[in-house]
Structure 1
Amino acid sequence: MSGAIEQTNAEKRPVVLALDTSTATMAMAIVQGTEVLGEAHSLAERNHSVEVVSKLKGLLASRGLTQQELGGIAVGKGPGSYTGMRIGVTVAKTLAWAWQLPLVGVSSLEALAFGQMNGKCSAAIGADEASVDEQWFVPIMDARRGQVYTAAFVSNGKADWQRMADDGIRLMNSWADRLHTLAAEHRSGAQSSQAGSLSITIGGDVQVHEAELIRLRELCAGIGVQVDYAQALMEGRSVALLGAARIARGEQEDVHAFVPNYTQLTEAEVKLREKQQAERESQ
């Protein structure tokens, strides 16, 4: 996505209400264009289903806004917590249908990375940021068993925001190797074209995977690439800004057909398929 939050003209600045419950953080915000009008966060994952509607209404009331003044709803569609994604998407679909508003889904991983770029949810970017010409932002959410939900994005500044790797579930060990390979290829090309330097910022559930992140940092140090990482939480403003840009371009989901990005089967589905396979083999 290039120019992720660029507005085409002054009149295409709808007020957008956004939420994301794909992680332990229940994040929500209201924006108009690139202006953040209000924001709220909660770290009570088990209470997402209980509190999300009242929190949204409270956020609107705190800004003196009503549903009639909204121009759309944005929701984090995952990947992430199976139950969390379902809660957020269900609430967003219900409100969009009831209030007759356009609905857009936003990659929760992209929102996490976008927050890193804006420097709001991560202090990982080093003091030499100004001398770095290209920056990669890599969000990670723990998916257990050595796996992460992850993707990658590249920026040369806020007006240039591009996806470079799709959302998916990957083994952290293999993903670290892949990032090192890509960085080495970039440096090789940079040397031949006299392009600038590269940094990689990784944010999200970094504590669980710190050993691999340290290994990646050491590998990249050998090729002149800076790697920083820090724990980062989801921010409602990132979902809202990305969603508002889509709504301003006239994009929207089919409210009834829209579903979260589950990425992988739930454990219950895996066990069911294993049981069904075993039953077929025993026949």
Structure 2
Amino acid sequence: MNLLAIETTGANASVAIINENRKIWEEHCDETLNHLRLLVPMIERLLAKCGLDLKEIGGIAVSEGPGSFTGIRIGMSTAKALAQTLNLNIVCVPTLKAFAYSTVDEKRVLCPIFDARRSQIYTGAYLWEEQGGCTQLVPDGAYALEEFLERIKTAMRKTEKNEILFFGDGISVYKDKIEEWVRMQNTASATSRLHVSFAPEELRYQRASSVAALGYKLWEQGKAQNLFQVKPVYLRQAEAQRKLDEAKRRLVHE
């Protein structure tokens, strides 16, 4: 079983193949926001690297979002086109949860944060269990930073963890605010101190290798669907659609 994974929700696209032995091959693009032109050639290079033919792919995993609206659509459309051509099923992989599969870290709570603009972040919080498996502490959603930090503080009280590892492009925007929040929490409580760290560059952003790892697990759980069932997850309305709806409401009131 060879599962092809597609990741296009971030600035850099990547693709990966994982086999039944959990060996992963990956092809990553350094060009930003050029997914439409580069995605199919990347898949071709990856297949050549693995010594595989496209017909030897048994299924497709695609990062479903949230993230770049255009990127999500490109990834979904490519996955559906391949699925239709090769008569394959698709497993949709939650983009935020995939970060937890970039590093099996049982010591820290894992929190990807994407800059969703309009003073919001796309985020969630995950925790690896000692017996294996990843559980969710805070539901995926679009939050104001302060709201999310309060949610994670409340959720962590139910665990024995006091360390948080942040991922994602939101770090460059919100790092200072997160560190200030931690300082305030630790000043207010001398007994339960929080510690935060930020993922290094090689783990900070979306990668198809993580999508492949989680995708294979979901595939084994029977979560694959046909191409007509899969849907993107945006978490929030696209900016263009929001402006259009606002314009329509203004016209109605006028």
Which of 173, 183, 192 aligns to 1:208? It is 173
Name the SS of the counterpart of 1:38 in structure 2: strand
Contact 1:25 1:45 in 2 (8 A): yes
When residues 234 and 34 of structure 1 are mapped into structure 2, their CA distance, relative to the original with a 3 A threshold, is farther
* Residue equivalent to 2:39: 52
Equivalent residues in 2 for 1:29-48 (5 A)?
29-33=16-20, 35-48=22-35
How far has the Cα of 1:15 moved from its partner?
Answer: 1.1
Q: Does 1:198 align with 2:162?
A: yes
How far has the Cα of 1:220 moved from its partner?
Answer: 4.8
Name the SS of the counterpart of 1:250 in structure 2: coil
Which of 58, 76, 79 aligns to 1:92? It is 79
Which of 112, 118, 130 aligns to 2:104? It is 118
Q: Does 1:71 align with 2:58?
A: yes
Q: Does 1:80 align with 2:67?
A: yes
Name the SS of the counterpart of 1:143 in structure 2: strand
When residues 217 and 113 of structure 1 are mapped into structure 2, their CA distance, relative to the original with a 3 A threshold, is farther
* d(CA) in 2 for partners of 1:199, 1:142: 22
Name the SS of the counterpart of 2:237 in structure 1: coil
Amino acid at match of 2:113: I
Q: Does 1:153 align with 2:126?
A: yes
Q: Does 1:262 align with 2:234?
A: yes
Q: Does 1:175 align with 2:148?
A: yes
Q: Does 1:22 align with 2:13?
A: no
Aligned length: 246
Contact 1:104 1:243 in 2 (8 A): yes
* d(CA) in 2 for partners of 1:85, 1:68: 24
* d(CA) in 2 for partners of 1:177, 1:34: 40
1:96-153: CA deviation from partner (whole Å, max 9, x where unpaired):
11111121010111112321x337xxxxxxxxx7xx4xx3111111111321111111
Amino acid at match of 2:194: V
* d(CA) in 2 for partners of 1:243, 1:118: 15
1:166-207: CA deviation from partner (whole Å, max 9, x where unpaired):
221111122122222333x33xxx6xxxxx443221111201
* Structure 2 gap segments, 5+ residues each: none
Amino acid at match of 2:241: E
Contact 2:12 2:33 in 1 (8 A): no
* Residue equivalent to 2:117: 144
Amino acid at match of 2:162: L
* Range with bigger deviation, 87-96 or 243-252: 243-252
* Residue equivalent to 1:238: 210
Name the SS of the counterpart of 1:35 in structure 2: coil
1:7-60: CA deviation from partner (whole Å, max 9, x where unpaired):
xxxxxxx21110110000212111113523411111323310001011111101
Contact 1:16 1:32 in 2 (8 A): yes
TM-score normalised per structure 2: 0.89
When residues 144 and 17 of structure 1 are mapped into structure 2, their CA distance, relative to the original with a 3 A threshold, is same
4+ residue runs of structure 1 moved beyond 3 angstroms?
A: 219-222
**What is the aligned-residue RMSD (CA, Å)?**
1.9
RCO (CA 8 Å, sep 6+): is it higher in 1 or 2? 1
* d(CA) in 1 for partners of 2:72, 2:21: 25
Name the SS of the counterpart of 1:95 in structure 2: helix
